[in-house]
Structure 1
Amino acid sequence: MPDTWWQAFDDPRLDRLVTWALDDNLSLRAGYQRLLQARALADRQGAGLFPSLDANAGAERQESDTTATTSYSAGLGASYEVDLWGRVQSLTEAEELRASATLADYQAAAISLSGEIASTWFQLLEQRAQYDLAERQLDTNEDVLTVIEARFGRGMTNSADVLRQRQLVNASVERLNEIEGEAGVLEHQLAVLLGQPPGRSNLPGGDALPALPPLPETGVPAELIQRRPDLRQAWLLIRAADQDLAAAISNRFPRFSIEASVSSQASDVSDLFDNWLTTLAGNLVAPLVDGGERRAEVRRSRAVREELVQEYGQAVLTAIQEVEDALTRGQQQHQRLDSLKERLQLADAAYRQLRNRYLNGAVSYIEVLDALREQQDLQRTLLTTRQQLLSSRVALYRALAGSIEISQEQESEKPQDTSTENDPA
């Protein structure tokens, strides 16, 4: 399945909105900064694998009642911890895995954002279509009111029929106001998702809901585990916790470090580098009594890893459930849509027949009014069901989505996730 899953709906307006959101959404930009922080932490931790080198220089002046002397000094100092038990390496790998997990979290956030954009956009299109439908229904109801008032003027019907139809006209006007308010709220939601102030974004026009795309391949659970960034993030965190546990175990063993320095000191700058003093020292530090602190840290790290393992298993089950739920809802809504289309055809035919019979004096207006209301209710429900079917397809794509190509301006600066070769299958 392609990363740009929303293109399956073949809606250029949706394509523009998603691209816009991936560039400008503020929450996603914040997620990118978290990614930079995680990479910086990994780089900082990785620096422990290499020796550190410090330079120093100084001047000291001493004065007495009769003399004044100045001395100069310069030197270099280096230190390095020999990673006998792999503690530093384990800590470095743990931070690198967490950085990769942060990248996966960023990708999951991008998928979630694109899904929210698509769902909100389809809801907005539905409300726009509902508004057009409500206007047509208002015109129909006003035409019917004109007919009834004319019949009332000729004494062919009673005032109650006129009042009932006026109520229906007023209800149609009220519905237009409700739809307009709901559409405004959805426009504000969409603007915020796009990183824009509500009411100031230039959203695309139109009210036509796109056609339902073909059902995507769902694959097998192993493919789902590899494809979903949130599951990849959970797996990487397990691996990071495993490295933390290894570091905690190594911390119970002795540490060996080497320190070396070279320095020179003279009373004149020209003589400063004539004489050098060098030192080399090795230090071995072994924990003897710590009150059980290191042992407790090992137990804690092991428990953290096991907690993440259980959470990962739950996340896998939830991911599979999301796919199955989306498939079930989509199938049910598809069946409902077919049923509604058939019911609407019958309601149209029933309304036309009853209206003709009413004009001929064969039935009461109550029957016509009930048929008209049912017809208009089914028209509105049909639009809502079409939108719900599209939203369920969005949910399926979100449940199946792979990683999204990072599309911000800083793309060239972003680190690549190279740890996927060890992901579970």
Structure 2
Amino acid sequence: MYGNRMKFGVKRVSSINASGKKHIVLLLLSSMLLTGCEGLARSQYTRPQLDLPASWSYAPVNGEQALASGQWWRAFQDQELNSLIERALQSNSDMALAALKVRQARLRAGIADGNLTPDVTAQLSASRERNIDAHTNSKSFGASLGLSYEIDLWGKLSSARDTAHWEAMATEQDRAGAALALIGTTANLYWRLAYLNESIAASEASLEYTAKALELAQVKHRSGAVSNLDLIQAEQNLASQRASLTSLLQEKVEAKNALAILFDQAPENSVPDPQTLPAMAMPTLPLATPAALLARRPDMQAAEMRLRSALADTDHSRASYYPSFSLTGSLATGGSDLADILRNPVASLGAGLSLPFIQWRQTQLNIQVSEAAYEQAVIEFRQKLYSSLAEVENKLSARSQLMAQEDALRTSFKLASEAERLAEVRYRSGATGVQAWLDQQETRRSAQLQLTANRLAQLQNMMALYQALGGGFAEGLD
């Protein structure tokens, strides 16, 4: 990272005897003493100053409810959906990739931990040589044991360890965030299938009803009661509805395929095919204070952990400016006979000193880079939090608007159904042409589809609100 450093070293080699044993003991004692020295003062983490509202602007008037935890999606009371979500969490490819990223981050943290402990190496060797002129053979055997240890005088290695550990924890939160997104995608596709099936059923019923209207127009046309225009209008309306039905059928195929691939399987595999949207009341609003987002949303927790990782990295960069001291030791032996390999061992003790401050400019630049990275992480943390607050406020507002819209759509559907009935009566009595009746059919059909779409939107809004509030992950991802 810092290029070539100026290094100094001392080394001593001797046979193992009483004096050598004393050197080893002194070396171990000095190592223990040096590692007890305190490093540079660590930066104390304080959460960036945040402007958090005390409550939500669009909170419901009936007060706050406790947030769900664990398998919060069960609040929708749909056993088939529950099974689908649990299956997706187990088999989805994105979850498998997220788990591998967590594993890699944990392994990197383990490597950083290992840098704080001595490195031990061992080697065995054997060789055979032949003197071609003298026609003689010679053999040699050897064994060596080595140990090296960098003393963490200034906290450089422990800061690197902290950086890796915070990143590993952030990666675990990334995995929880991936699960949160997967649950939302699974539920939305499941509900979209139900919405499409309801729309297809309504379209088929309207198609049958329109076909009967065409038959009536044909009877009237043959009797001379209506003109050819009525017949053409009825036929055109029937063809238009058939075209709309084919579009819905194609959308259903695409939705089923999108749902199937969530389970890491080919699209042709079967998936649930719900016929209607859930009719149960919407779950209780899982509302908490704005400050709770910091503790609940996986993406917010990941952002704060990466902020702490960046702070630890600045400590590592500063500590890297100071000299590093390492100790090495080895024990080697050899002989011409395997039985003599343990005789006359030779011990080697050494110490090395690295002076990175010789490259002062490069070191200072590295420190400034890490400090700038921390400042960037602070800004990104605040941006993410405020975006999260806006997301919750938007979903809360949409929830209120969708509930009010449902009341208006129910009234609209009721009136459209009555208007269609009256238009049919007037047509059958000959008071109007067929177009007035067909127009009212279309109005009623549109009102029915809008009401179904509103139900879908409310379900999706509630799911999005759960996600915006962090869902409620407490267990189940290991």
Same fold (TM over 0.5): yes
Q: How far off is 1:75 after superposition?
A: 2.1
From 105, 110, 115, the equivalent of 1:48 is: 115
The residue correspondences of 1:48-197 to structure 2 (distance < 5 A) are: 48-64=115-131, 65-66=133-134, 67-197=136-266
From 277, 294, 301, the equivalent of 1:209 is: 277
The 3-state SS of whatever aligns with 2:261 is helix
Q: How far off is 1:393 after superposition?
A: 1.1
TM-score in terms of structure 2 length: 0.82
Q: Indicate yes or no: 2:82 matched with 1:15.
A: yes
Q: What per-residue deviation string (whole Å, max 9, x for no partner) do you get for residues 107-134 of structure 1? A: 1001101101111111111111100000
Distance in 1 between residues matched to 2:428 and 2:335, nearest whole Å: 119
Distance in 1 between residues matched to 2:112 and 2:95, nearest whole Å: 26
Deviating more after overlay: 286-295 vs 247-256: 286-295
Distance in 1 between residues matched to 2:150 and 2:393, nearest whole Å: 52
Aligned to 1:329: 398
The 3-state SS of whatever aligns with 2:264 is coil
Amino acid at match of 2:118: P
Q: Is the 8 A contact 1:234 1:312 kept in 2?
A: yes
TM-score in terms of structure 1 length: 0.92
Structure 2: unaligned runs, 5 residues or longer: 1-67
Deviating more after overlay: 69-78 vs 344-353: 69-78
Distance in 1 between residues matched to 2:438 and 2:138, nearest whole Å: 112
Aligned to 1:419: none
Amino acid at match of 1:209: L
Aligned to 1:311: 380
Q: 1:367 to 1:262 in 2, by over 3 A?
A: same
Distance in 2 between residues matched to 1:278 and 1:348, nearest whole Å: 99
Q: Is the 8 A contact 1:212 1:390 kept in 2?
A: no
Distance in 1 between residues matched to 2:350 and 2:362, nearest whole Å: 29
The 3-state SS of whatever aligns with 1:257 is strand
Distance in 2 between residues matched to 1:74 and 1:40, nearest whole Å: 31
Deviating more after overlay: 350-359 vs 393-402: 350-359
Amino acid at match of 1:228: R
Q: Is the 8 A contact 2:327 2:350 kept in 1?
A: yes
Aligned to 1:403: 473
Aligned to 2:345: 276
Distance in 2 between residues matched to 1:201 and 1:362, nearest whole Å: 54
Distance in 1 between residues matched to 2:144 and 2:196, nearest whole Å: 75
Aligned to 1:416: none
Q: In percent, how many aligned pairs have the same letter?
A: 29
How many residue pairs get aligned? The number is: 407
Deviating more after overlay: 274-283 vs 358-367: 358-367
Higher helix share: 1
Q: How far off is 1:104 after superposition?
A: 0.6
The 3-state SS of whatever aligns with 2:358 is coil
From 331, 336, 340, the equivalent of 2:409 is: 340
Q: How far off is 1:366 after superposition?
A: 3.2
Q: Is the 8 A contact 1:191 1:197 kept in 2?
A: yes
The 3-state SS of whatever aligns with 1:75 is strand
Q: How far off is 1:361 after superposition?
A: 2.9
Distance in 1 between residues matched to 2:417 and 2:114, nearest whole Å: 75
Structure 1: unaligned runs, 5 residues or longer: 412-425
Q: What per-residue deviation string (whole Å, max 9, x for no partner) do you get for residues 250-295 of structure 1? A: 0000111111112223332222223222222222222342151111
Q: What per-residue deviation string (whole Å, max 9, x for no partner) do you get for residues 52-91 of structure 1? A: 1111222344554445443322221101011001111111
Q: Is the 8 A contact 2:70 2:473 kept in 1?
A: yes
Distance in 2 between residues matched to 1:60 and 1:124, nearest whole Å: 73
Q: Indicate yes or no: 2:421 matched with 1:376.
A: no
Aligned to 1:297: 366
Distance in 2 between residues matched to 1:360 and 1:324, nearest whole Å: 54
The 3-state SS of whatever aligns with 1:292 is helix
Distance in 2 between residues matched to 1:296 and 1:138, nearest whole Å: 73
From 6, 22, 26, the equivalent of 2:93 is: 26
How large is the RMSD of aligned CA atoms in angstroms? 1.7
Q: How far off is 1:42 after superposition?
A: 1.1
The 3-state SS of whatever aligns with 1:275 is coil
Q: What per-residue deviation string (whole Å, max 9, x for no partner) do you get for residues 292-327 of structure 1? A: 111101000011111111111111111111111111
The 3-state SS of whatever aligns with 2:205 is helix
Q: Is the 8 A contact 1:57 1:74 kept in 2?
A: yes
Distance in 1 between residues matched to 2:83 and 2:418, nearest whole Å: 41
Distance in 1 between residues matched to 2:357 and 2:467, nearest whole Å: 54
Distance in 2 between residues matched to 1:261 and 1:387, nearest whole Å: 72
Q: Indicate yes or no: 2:102 matched with 1:35.
A: yes
Q: Is the 8 A contact 2:357 2:363 kept in 1?
A: no
Stretches (4+) displaced over 6 A? none
Q: How far off is 1:171 after superposition?
A: 1.3
The 3-state SS of whatever aligns with 1:196 is coil
The 3-state SS of whatever aligns with 2:154 is coil
Distance in 1 between residues matched to 2:129 and 2:432, nearest whole Å: 120
Distance in 2 between residues matched to 1:378 and 1:355, nearest whole Å: 18
Distance in 2 between residues matched to 1:316 and 1:159, nearest whole Å: 65
Deviating more after overlay: 396-405 vs 371-380: 396-405
Aligned to 1:422: none
The 3-state SS of whatever aligns with 2:115 is helix
Distance in 2 between residues matched to 1:204 and 1:268, nearest whole Å: 75
Distance in 2 between residues matched to 1:56 and 1:364, nearest whole Å: 101
Q: Is the 8 A contact 1:111 1:404 kept in 2?
A: no
Q: Indicate yes or no: 2:292 matched with 1:223.
A: yes
Q: Is the 8 A contact 2:321 2:357 kept in 1?
A: no
Q: How far off is 1:346 after superposition?
A: 0.9
